[in-house]
Structure 1
Amino acid sequence: MYLLGIDIGTSSIKVAVVEVSTQKCIASVQYPEEETKIKSIQQGWAEQSPEDWWENTQQAILKLNATGLFNPKDIKAIGIAYQMHGLVVVDKEQNVLRDSIIWCDSRAVELGEQAFESIGEEKCLKSLLNSPGNFTASKLAWVKNMEPELYEQIDKIMLPGDFIGMKLTGSISTSIPALSEGVFWDFKKDEISKDVMEHYGLDSNLIPAIKPLFSEHGYLKVEIASKLSLMEGIPVAYKSGDQPNNALSLNVFKPGEVAATAGTSGVIYGVSDELTYDLQSRVNTFAHVTYSKEKKHTGVLLCINGTGSMYRWAKHNFAPELSYSTLNKMAAESPIGSNGLMVLPFGNGAERMLNNKFTGAQLLGIDLNKHGQSDIFRAVQEGIAFAFRYGLDIMRENGMKPSVIRAGRANLFLSDVFAQTFVDVTGVPVELYENDGSVGAALGAGIGSGVFKNAAEAFTKQEVIKYLEPKNTIAYDAIYPEWKKLLIKAL
């Protein structure tokens, strides 16, 4: 018996099949091989085509089936993880009306700031746990204001994972965690926020049916099942934003547990049993996958837009012909501190932890007689690690004090330089696991469909593959303050 996990990433679609009895990944692929581009018509804008996500999802599943490592007919449920905060809009025939305004798009920042002031900062923080910022609700308000004719055609709004669920099943649904990440949810009243909807003048009928996150959100359509060689009628039993899903994949369910990821964006995500918020909304709180009206488990999320995207930019511009593994080896040839070269990796839209400011990415201190490729690639990795430290200090101000951080051995954590630098700079040990987002989505489907009795049963065989402890803290304690001075100057 198998479970299928789909991860709708910014760069590509990843899919994985997990065997229920062993809880191990049998096969995984990504599609396309080349990283998907972000459309940026204007500075600060970021869009992608939902139909491209759907086409790439189908191709990824067919590619997965072609491995021959499992019988697709033995898949019993599907789970979906997805890039958070994106806006997808469809008409009554479920036709997409425009490209998705995705997570790193900054066009709605001003609208969000106006809402924060109009609704009341204290009221927003206590009820929404966030400023409306440039989250999904503000993106929808932008469409209403700037594309009113299109807005009138909208039947339902969705997050990216809801859209893929719709294409698989024909059903449209959402969940409390999904609504909270769009800043549509009032945590004090446990309902869709009347303040947000009324301030923006949004129609509540645009919100899909709300279902439990772990539940059957629809059943695979006959024609889709036939095309993808799957059994018709199997459920889509789990849909989660990528960061709560990453936490799930690392068995981070209990208050005080913390997960991290360093993909296109970088995230530290800690679980709390309090309705906590940052006064400046630099870190954000959403409903965790285990949130209920009885147990209000929340996820406190630090997001850095420019992590893997910064490393990708460096690769494409300084060594496009080399693999990431080769770049990681080159980075290890440069000493701690990258011979004085420093990087601010904030070039992928307004950064919430920087109070929604856009500094642009910066490569600083270049010595034309000294610095080479190895210094550049190490400086990029160190700059990203420093950004994590800056954000973690904000989380510490808000009471999140991790004793260990769990991460999947993927993306930047595949680099020994980055992984050790992350540990040295933050001062927090890291446990590395094999699971990734698509595997987590598959396990989530097992929970939602009842294949596993509960969340604990889905992770009985998870093992730490590597444990990293700080060992270069003194060296980085001397370098980090200099990097921070450069950041403050840039702000």
Structure 2
Amino acid sequence: MLLLGIDIGTSSVKVSVVDSASQKLIATAQYPDVESPIKALQTGWAEQSPDMWWEHTQKAIHLCHSSAHYNPQDISAIGIAYQMHGLVLINKQGEALRDSIIWCDSRAVEIGNKAFDEIGGEKCLSHLLNSPGNFTASKLAWVKQNEPDIYKQIDKVMLPGDFIAMKLTGSVSCSVSSLSEGVFYDFVTDSFSDDILNYYGFDRHLFPEILPVFSEHGYVSAAVAQSLKLKEGIPVTYKAGDQPNNALSLNVLQPGEVAATAGTSGVIYGVSDELIYDKQSRVNTFAHVNYTTDQKRLGVLLCINGTGSLNRWIKNTFGSSISYGQMNDLAKTVAAGSDGLRILPFGNGAERMLNNKQIGVHLHNIDLNHHTSAHIFRAVQEGIASAFRYGLDILRENGMFPSVIRAGKANLFLSEVFAQSFSNFTGVPVELYKNDGSVGAAIGAGIGAGVYKSAAEAFTYMKPVQLIEPNGRDIEPFYQEWKALLEVQLATKK
């Protein structure tokens, strides 16, 4: 039996086909091969077209088929992972009413902050485990306030993965996990948050049917099956946000286990069985993929908005004629500490771990007679690793003390400099796995379809490909200097 995983990323859509018996990757493809555009109509805004995601999904599936490594008719279940927190609005015809306001859009920060104050900070944190902040609920409130004509046409509110599942099947559903990531869910009552619905004036009927993450979310329609060369009626049996899905793909499902990723954004994601919340809402807690009312499994998420996007900007600006691999090789030629060059990697919207402040990217201590592009390449990776350390210290304040962190050997973790810097700055060993979000979505589909008796069975053959441990170098002075520079910038922002 073959499983198809779809990962709706900010940069591209990636699909993978996995053999359920061996759990081996059969074929993979992504579309496009250049990064998808993000529309920024105003400073701090970020939007993408849901129809673009669907177009890219179809093209990625056809590319995967073109490998000829499998028979598309043997695919028996589909799983979907997607960029979290994006707001998708559809009318009764299932058409997107506007571009999606995506995860790194900052326009709703003040709306969420006001809701936090007026509902009550303690009430929000103890029930929602988050401030409404800049999450999906606040983005929907922005549309209600600023685009009333569009708001009146809304039939259903959904997240990016819900939209792609609807395009595949014609069915619309959500889950407790997706509702919680939008800050629509009350963890004390284990139901929709009346506080959020009443404060913002949202009608309960705007939201789809709630189904478990691992369940049948619809069946591929005849027209889509013919277009994509799939069997009609294949079930979509798994939908999850990219970070819970990344954790699943690394078999991070039980309390105390921790995953990390360093793609467009950087994330540390730990699992807890307690209703953890940060008093400043600098880290965020959502229902994990295996959350149930009887067995609480919460994902505690620390996000840095601009990791891979900063690395891309640096490449385009200072290394446009070379590859990322060549950038990483050049970074290795510079000693740890980048000869004093320091970079604050915060230029992609409001950062929750910085109390929703936007401080931008800062390059410090540039010596025009000494520093080269190689220094910049290394300083970027060390700056991002320092940001991870800063965030991990916040997680530690909230009771999470990982003894090991699992990550996919992809994106920035392909760089020896970054992987070692991450381990050195955090002081935690890192296990790297040959896995990614689309493979995780395929495995999730297998769990949802009942192919595997348990999640543990789904990862029988998963082994780390590399272990990176702190190498004993005294990098603490570098970090403390970086942190002092950050604190200066934070002090200048309200």
Single out whichever of 243-252 and 332-341 deviates more from structure 2: 332-341
Query: Structure 1: how far apart are the matches of 2:278 and 2:242?
Result: 21
What is the deviation of 1:408? 0.3
Match of 2:476 in 1: 477
2:54 — aligned with what? Answer: 54
Using structure 1 for the length normalisation, give the TM-score.
0.99
Say if 2:447 is the partner of 1:447. yes
Query: What's the secondary structure of 2:346's corresponding residue?
Result: coil
- Note the alpha carbon deviations across 1:462-483, whole angstroms, 9 max, x for none: 0110001100441x11110000
SS of structure 1 residue aligned to 2:360: coil
Asked if residue 488 in structure 1 is aligned to residue 487 in structure 2, the reply is yes
One-letter amino acid matched to 1:187: F
Residue type of the partner of 1:75?
Answer: I
CA–CA separation in structure 2 for the residues paired with 1:118 and 1:362:
35
Partner of 1:188: 188
Which amino acid in 1 is paired with 2:305? Answer: N
Asked if residue 101 in structure 1 is aligned to residue 101 in structure 2, the reply is yes
1:270 aligned partner: 270
What is the identity, as a one-letter code, of the residue corresponding to 2:28? S
Give the structure 1 partner of residue 209 of structure 2.
209
Q: 2: distance between equivalents of 1:473 and 1:274?
A: 35
- Count of residues in Structure 1 that have an aligned counterpart in Structure 2: 490
Q: How far does residue 95 in structure 1 lie from its aligned partner after superposition?
A: 0.7
The match for 1:38 is 38
- Percent identity over the alignment? 66
Partners of 1:219 and 1:232 within 8 A in 2: yes
TM-score (normalised: structure 2): 0.99
| Equivalent in the alignment of 1:386 | 386
1:20 maps onto 2:20 in alignment: yes
Partners of 2:462 and 2:452 in 1: how far apart? 15
Spell out, residue by residue over 1:264-288, the C-alpha distance to the aligned partner (whole angstroms, 9 max, x if none): 0000000000001000000000001
Q: What is the letter of the counterpart of residue 478 of structure 1?
A: P
Structure 2 counterpart of 1:247: 247
- Structure 1 runs (4+) deviating above 2 angstroms are none
* In 1: Cα distance, 2:481 partner to 2:27 partner: 44
Separation in structure 2 between the aligned mates of residue 252 and residue 9 of structure 1, nearest angstrom = 20
Partners of 1:321 and 1:79 lie apart in 2 by: 37
Question: Contact (CA 8 Å) 1:427, 1:473: kept in 2 or not?
Answer: no
One-letter amino acid of the counterpart of residue 486, structure 1: L
Stretches of structure 1 lacking an aligned partner (at least 5 in a row): none
**Residue-by-residue CA offset, 1:304-355 (whole Å, 9 max, x unaligned):** 0010011000001111121111111111111101111111000000000000
Residues of 2 paired with 1:462 and 1:148: CA distance? Answer: 49
On the 8 A contact 1:385/1:421 being kept in 2, the answer is yes
Match of 2:324 in 1: 324
Q: Deviations over 1:441-465 (max 9, x none)?
A: 0000000011111211100110110
- Map 1:65-84 → 2, pairs under 5 A: 65-84=65-84
Cα distance in 2, alignment partners of residues 196 and 47 from structure 1: 24
What SS class does the counterpart of residue 440 from structure 2 fall into? Answer: helix
How many Å apart are 1:190 and its aligned residue? 0.5
What residue number does 1:9 align with?
Answer: 9
SS at match of 2:45: coil
Q: Report the Cα distance in structure 2 between the residues aligned to 1:101 and 1:382, rounded to whole angstroms.
A: 31
Give a deviation string over 1:397-431, Cα, whole Å, max 9, x none: 00000000000000000001000000000000000
2: distance between equivalents of 1:339 and 1:71? 54
Letter in 2 for 1:488: E
Secondary structure (helix, strand or coil) at the match of 2:327 reads helix
Cα distance in structure 2, aligned partners of 1:464 and 1:242: 21
User: Are 2:110 and 1:110 aligned?
Assistant: yes
SS in 2 for 1:345: strand
In the alignment, what sits opposite 2:169? 169
Aligned residue for 1:160?
A: 160
Read off the aligned partner of 1:247 and give its amino acid letter. Answer: A
The answer to whether the 8 Å contact 1:425/1:473 transfers is: no
Mapped partners of 1:94, 1:473: distance in 2: 56
Structure 2 counterpart of 1:227, which letter? Answer: S
What runs of 5+ residues in structure 2 fail to find an aligned partner?
A: none
Deviations along 1:357-391, one digit per CA (max 9) or x if unpaired, are: 00001111111110111100000000000000000
Q: Specify the code of the residue in structure 2 equivalent to 1:389.
A: R
Q: Which amino acid aligns with 1:189?
A: T
Q: Secondary structure at the match of 1:435?
A: coil
Distance 1:364 1:42 in 2: 27
Alignment match, 2:197: 197
Q: Does 1:131 align with 2:131?
A: yes
Q: Counterpart of 1:365 in structure 2: which amino acid?
A: N
For residues 91 and 438 of structure 1, the distance between their equivalents in structure 2, rounded to whole angstroms, comes to 29
* Partner Cα distance (1:67, 1:385) in 2: 37
2:225 matched residue in structure 1: 225
Which amino acid letter does the alignment assign opposite residue 119 of structure 2?
A: I
1-structure distance, mates of 2:321, 2:12:
20
* Structure-2 separation of matches of 1:219 and 1:452: 20
Name the SS of the counterpart of 2:417 in structure 1. Answer: helix
Q: Which whole-Å deviations, capped at 9, do the CAs of 1:2-37 have from their partners, x for residues lacking one? A: 100000000100110001111011111111000011
1:461 partner SS: coil
Which residue in the other structure is 1:418 paired with? 418
Tell me the amino acid that sits aligned with residue 444 of structure 1.
G
1:62 and 1:2 mapped to 2: Cα distance?
A: 16
Kindly indicate whether the alpha-carbon contact (under 8 Å) linking 1:18 and 1:442 is maintained by their aligned counterparts in 2.
yes
Could you report, residue by residue, the CA deviation over 1:190-235 in whole angstroms, capped at 9, with x for unpaired residues? 0000100110111111110000110000000111111111111000
